[in-house]
Amino acid sequence: MDKKQLDSLLSLIKHLQRQKYPTLVIVVIAIFALFFNTLPSATDGCEVLNIYDGDTMTVQCQGKETKVRLYCIDAPEMGQTPWGKQARDHLRAIAGNSVKLVQIDQDRYGRVVGEVYRGEVNLNLAQVTAGQVAVYDAYCKKSEYFQAEQRATRTKLGIWSAAGIHQTPWEWRKQK
């Protein structure tokens, strides 16, 4: 591992600590990176090209166009009026033109699954905090998302302001 890779690993560890990842997860990622010489990809300065809905966007990072599915969240579909449009518009409003992408995985459709940041603001978590999306508990392992959803539910923000299937987009998709 060269100095640039080591600096990248240290930066990733600090980022994960700020995001309150469990220590064990950080250690496992660091060991994996050291042994296999790979790191989860964090790319600064990605240009936002398009935001399709409340949990999917296309960015251009280092000249490469990438479709991103936001980790841990599930937004109402665009057909779930007015919830889908509101989630998309909120993400557009908070994303700006330039973001940082932290790749976590890749989904079965070939999209990057990741957390997207504008400055220090985690846009995935901001969507949950504003009540625009639900936590996709089948794929989410981070407690801060569940805590933010509980607060949004308790205060009846966004999708939590009225009961309905828009609160569980995965159930809505099953019915279609």
pLDDT digits (tens, 9 = 90+) for 40-88: 456 678 999 999 999 999 999 989 999 999 999 999 999 999 999 999 9
Is the pLDDT reported for residue 127 higher than 60? yes
Q: How far is CA 24 from the centre of its chain?
A: 21
Nearest to 30 by CA among 14, 49, 45, 48: 14
Catalytic residue among 92, 111, 118, 144: 111
Q: List the domain boundaries for the chain.
A: 3-36, 42-175
Is the pLDDT reported for residue 1 higher than 90? no
**Can you tell me the distance from the alpha carbon of 136 to that of 126, in angstroms, rounded to the nearest whole number?**
14
Mean pLDDT of the residues in the chain: 87
Q: Where are the beta strands (DSSP E) in 21-108?
A: 42-53, 56-61, 64-70, 73-74, 98-106
77 catalytically annotated: yes
Catalytic residue among 47, 65, 69, 115: 69
Catalytic residue among 18, 47, 65, 77: 77
In the Cβ-directed half-sphere of 98, how many Cα atoms lie within 13 Å? 6
How far is residue 128 from each of residues 3, 18, 44, 45, 76, measured CA to CA in Å? 37, 18, 23, 23, 12
The pTM of this model reads 0.76
Q: Which CATH class is domain 42-175?
A: mainly beta
List of residues 6+ apart from 45 with CB closer than 8 A: 61, 98, 100
69 catalytically annotated: yes
